[in-house]
Each structure stands twice: as C-alpha cells, then as structure tokens.
C-alpha cells in the first residue's frame, strides 16, 4: 500500500491529539507513524502523519481531518518537494573488543555516540527510514539491548512559515 506524509497544523490545545488519533481509529485509517511538536508559533502545533492507503483513503483522511475544528491546515508532503527525517536511539552491547568496531560503523553512518557505559553504547542516528533500518541491521550483530525511534518529521522545501501557510488558507478566494 502507498504511504503518504501529511503535515497537519493544529491548535496547540489539550486533547487535539486524541481527536486526531480517535478519528483514525474509528474510520479505520492506518497510521504508520505520527510525530507532534509545537511550531514557531506557540499556539500552533505541527503533526507529521504517515498514512498508508490508496488515493481514495488519502482523500478521506484529508477531508475528515479538515472537519476537525482544531485542525487548521493540511498539506501532503511529496518526497520531491519536502525533506524528512527520523531519529533513533540504539543501545548496543559492547565489550573491549567490539567497542571500536561499533564506533567505526557509527562513523560510516555519520551517526553519533551519545552515551558510553562499560558494557554498552547509545547511538543516535538520524535519516531516512532506510538508513535507520540498515544501521539497526549492522548493529544487531553486536546485540541491541534497547531501541527507540521517533516517527517521521517532514517540512516542505519552499521557504515559508506556519503563519504563511495559515494565512494562505484564510485568503483562499471564495467565488461568489
């Protein structure tokens, strides 16, 4: 099934995430990942949602989201017109002999080691889903103790702010 990335600007209010996740579950839409955080405007949050489904499903997702009063704007981010990243923290088992091997792999991936203990390292890696997956594969030979990853976050390449986007929405000409 096709995956689509949506950038959703919402009111930064309690309960908004519940409204959105509730909508997805009751309408049977599949969320692949969801990441939320406040934007440069403190009263506005940006949610990046990756949904899977065909074009009809995508159309319904967008329209149903639009019906929520707290949703201000929705845009689909296509791979060509946007940049996106995921981040993972991976705790790898190491000993005196494997530590340097892990560090080499981390270098190749341009990842970072952010915590060191006698028997483990925590690696921070950002990038595409694919990059994180290969990193995970490479490190798994040493033994992964724990791992956590964010959902995808994405931004449109054009230079504009959340405020610009919302302004455009409000100035959408209405035909009389």
Q: Binding to another protein by residue 11, rule CB under 8 A?
A: yes
Q: Give whichever of 137 and 170 is closer to another protein, judged by the CB atom.
A: 170
Q: Binding to another protein by residue 22, rule CB under 8 A?
A: yes
Q: Binding to another protein by residue 64, rule CB under 8 A?
A: yes
Q: Give whichever of 67 and 137 is closer to another protein, judged by the CB atom.
A: 67
Beta carbon of residue 48, minimum distance to another protein (angstroms, whole number): 18
Q: Give whichever of 58 and 132 is closer to another protein, judged by the CB atom.
A: 58
Residue 117 to residue 50: CA distance in whole angstroms: 35
Q: Binding to another protein by residue 40, rule CB under 8 A?
A: no
Q: Binding to another protein by residue 124, rule CB under 8 A?
A: no
Find how far residue 79's CA is from the centre of its chain: 13
Q: Give whichever of 71 and 77 is closer to another protein, judged by the CB atom.
A: 71
Residue 102 to residue 110: CA distance in whole angstroms: 12
Q: Binding to another protein by residue 41, rule CB under 8 A?
A: no
Applying CB under 8 A, among 72, 77, 102, 132 the residue interacting with another protein is 72
Q: Give whichever of 69 and 117 is closer to another protein, judged by the CB atom.
A: 69
- Residue numbers at the binding site for another protein (CB under 8 A): 10-11, 15, 18-19, 22-23, 26, 56, 59-60, 63-64, 66-72, 166, 169-170, 174-176
């Amino acid at each position: 099934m096709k995956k689509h990335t949506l950038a959703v600007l919402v009111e930064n209010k309690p309960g908004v995430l519940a409204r959105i996740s509730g909508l997805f579950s009751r309408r049977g839409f599949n969320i692949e990942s969801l990441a939320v955080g406040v934007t440069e405007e403190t009263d506005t949050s940006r949610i990046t949602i990756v949904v899977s489904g065909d074009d009809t499903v995508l159309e319904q997702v967008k329209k149903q989201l639009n019906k929520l009063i707290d949703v201000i704007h929705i845009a689909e981010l296509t791979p060509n017109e946007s940049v996106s990243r995921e981040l993972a923290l991976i705790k790898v088992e190491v000993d005196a002999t494997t530590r340097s091997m892990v560090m080499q792999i981390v270098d190749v991936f341009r990842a970072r080691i952010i915590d060191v203990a006698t028997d483990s390292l925590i690696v921070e890696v950002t990038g595409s889903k694919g990059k994180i997956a290969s990193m995970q594969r490479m490190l798994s030979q040493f033994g992964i103790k724990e791992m956590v990853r964010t959902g995808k976050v994405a931004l449109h390449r054009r230079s504009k702010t959340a405020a610009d986007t919302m302004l455009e929405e409000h100035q959408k000409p209405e035909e009389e």
